[in-house]
Amino acid sequence: MILHTDLGQTVEARKKAISSLIRKGAITLGGYKKARIYGLLTCSSGKRMKVENRIFFKDETEALANGYRPCGHCMKEKYEQWKRKTKQ
């Protein structure tokens, strides 16, 4: 799990660090730490969140292990599966 504050002090430094980690495969998903939701890095809902509320994950296993749920917008099928499991 990588917090935005771990990536640098300036916007430019954070963008550079995030790009590098994405290219290396160290980041594949983004999350919203207030609501504990994770989704694709390309999700339009995720792109609207404040920078200080962003968190990054290597993979889905890491996101789930940290108590995050799938995004209902960009990961609709996985969200529906999660929703069904939580109702049981």
Average pLDDT over residues 12-16: 88
4-18, 45-59, 60-74: range with lowest mean pLDDT: 4-18
Residue 68: pLDDT over 80: yes
Residue 80: pLDDT over 70: yes
Confidence of residue 4 (pLDDT cuts 50, 70, 90): low
- The region that residue 9 occupies, defined by phi over 0 for left and psi between -120 and 50 for alpha, beta otherwise, is alpha
Domains and CATH numbers, the chain: 2-87 (3.40.10.10)
Q: What is the pTM of this model?
A: 0.86
Residue 3 phi, psi dihedral angles, 5° rounding: -85, 155
Compute CA 34 distance to the chain's CA centroid, rounded to the nearest angstrom.
12
Average pLDDT over residues 4-21: 84
Residue 14: pLDDT over 90: no
